[in-house]
Amino acid sequence: MSVVYHKYLDRILTAAAVLILSLHGCSGNPSKFVDNVYVGTWHIDTSRVRVSVSVDAGDASNLQVFMPFITNNYQHIRTLLKDPHTIRVAGSSRDDPYSGTYSLLFSSGNVYTSSYKLVRNILFLTLSDKSGNTYTIPCQADGNTLQIVYSTPYMRALILDFIEDNFPEQAQDLISIILSITVTLEGLSVYNTRTRDLAGQYGQP
C-alpha cells in the first residue's frame, strides 16, 4: 500500500513540475498582453446623448429669454452632440501601447485626425468651433463604452454657432444674453459599439 501511495505522489509532483515549466517557459516569465481600452472603432449611441443646463446668476429679464430658448431648442442642441458619429482609435506599438492616432468622422463627411497619448488613462480629443478656436475634450473608456464629456466653454461655443446659423436676425441679442449670464453647460455623448482586431493588444515580456 505504501509503495502504491509513493508512486501516486511521484506522479502528482511530476505533473505539477511539467505544468509549471509549460506556463513559465524556458526563458522566465510568460508574456503579458497590454490592452489599450480605447483602440477600436466606436459608434455613437444617440439615445444616450445628454445636455444639462444650470444657471448660476443673471438678470431676470435675460433668463426669461434664455431658458425658453434652451427648452425649445433642446433636441437641436442634442443633435449637435451626435457628431462625430464614429471615432476610430489606433494604437502605436508594442513599445508604447498607450499612444497612437484617432480619427473623428462627422456626418458632414469631414474627418479630423490627430495623435494622442493617454494621460492617467484619459484620452484627450481636440475639437474646434466655427471661429477656429480649439478645445481639449476628455473622454474615458472601459473597453465596453467610450464617453465624451463636453465642458461649458465648448458647449457655449457650440450654441453660439447654432444661433448664428439658425437665428441670424436674433443672433446679436441672443448671443449677448448668453454671454451676460453665468451658466454651466455640459454635454455627454456615449459610444457603445466597439469593433477592433488584435491590433489593440500588444505582447510584452
pLDDT tens sequence across 7-52: 444 554 444 444 343 444 444 455 455 678 999 999 999 999 999 9
CATH number of the domain at 88, please. 2.40.128
Verify that 12 and 104 share a domain, yes or no. Answer: no
Evaluate whether residue 23 is within a structural domain: yes
**Under 8 Å CB-to-CB from 18, ≥6 apart: which residues?**
none
- Decide: 174 and 167 in contact? Cβ < 8 Å: yes
Is residue 190 packed enough to be buried (19+ CB in 10 Å), middle (13-18) or exposed (0-12)?
Answer: middle
Verify that 24 and 105 share a domain, yes or no. Answer: no
Verify that 165 and 183 share a domain, yes or no. Answer: yes
**Under 8 Å CB-to-CB from 142, ≥6 apart: which residues?**
37
Verify that 96 and 21 share a domain, yes or no. Answer: no
Instruction: Report the half-sphere exposure of 111 (CA within 13 A, side-chain side).
Output: 8
What range does the domain containing 69 cover? 33-197
Q: Which residue has the higher pLDDT, 83 or 8?
A: 83
The total domain count for the chain is: 2
pLDDT tens sequence across 92-124: 887 888 999 999 999 999 999 999 999 999 999
At 123 the pLDDT is: 96
Verify that 10 and 49 share a domain, yes or no. Answer: no
- Other Cβ atoms less than 10 A from the Cβ of 142: the count is 10
Evaluate whether residue 205 is within a structural domain: no
Evaluate whether residue 167 is within a structural domain: yes
Verify that 143 and 126 share a domain, yes or no. Answer: yes
Verify that 58 and 123 share a domain, yes or no. Answer: yes
From the list 75, 83, 72, the residue with the least C-alpha distance to 170 is 72
Evaluate whether residue 131 is within a structural domain: yes
- Decide: 142 and 33 in contact? Cβ < 8 Å: no
Distance, in Å, from the CA atom of 90 to the CA atom of 6, rounded to the nearest integer, reads 56
Evaluate whether residue 96 is within a structural domain: yes
Evaluate whether residue 58 is within a structural domain: yes
Verify that 19 and 41 share a domain, yes or no. Answer: no
Verify that 39 and 11 share a domain, yes or no. Answer: no
At 13 the pLDDT is: 43
Evaluate whether residue 203 is within a structural domain: no
